[in-house]
Amino acid sequence: MRILAIDPAIRNTGYAVVEGDHRRACALDYGTLSIPRSVSQSGCLLAIKQHLGNLIEKWEPDEMAVERIIYVQSHQTAITMGAAKAAVVIAAAEAGLRIMEYSPKSVKLSVVGRGAAQKAQVAFMVRALLELRETPESDAADALAIGLTHLFAADPLKAHMMERKYI
């Protein structure tokens, strides 16, 4: 299975394309779409949607996995994060992709074994699990972890640990 995994944010959206199953996975592509502060919010949303559309066209994923937005510092941050997630969901929906959403706790639990893991621990485990040469930057590591979580969720022994839903 090929998964496009997204850690949505208005300025730094992490993305990853992972392929495999719950036993073995590899990273085909990953990174962070960084958008300068000089770009308006509407410009950011358009850039996110277009970039994901390009990734979908290039990699032809079977499904998309995205992190659920749970904790935010303010109402304004929640609105901004929701808008970024909406751009992601629209890009996937236009391509006819099924979208699975995972809680941050589930992602950390599936990759690190602890739902309260720190970002550095997630990045370290992603590097180890995918046998990467370098530790990916934070947003890309989160997207890789989301993709791995989606693949791990296919394992009946692990699926019960995942807080997930199709959107």
Catalytic residues: 7, 67, 139
The strand pairing partners of 26, in sequence order, are 19
**Can you tell me whether residue 6 is helix, strand or coil?**
strand
**Burial of 123 by CB count in 10 Å (0-12 exposed, 13-18 middle, 19+ buried)?**
buried
How many whole angstroms separate alpha carbon 108 and alpha carbon 38? Answer: 33
The strand pairing partners of 17, in sequence order, are 4, 29
- What are the helix (H) ranges across 1-159? 41-59, 75-94, 104-112, 119-130, 138-152
Which residues are CB-neighbours of 147 under 8 A, at least 6 positions away? 3, 4, 5, 16, 17, 18, 25, 27, 65
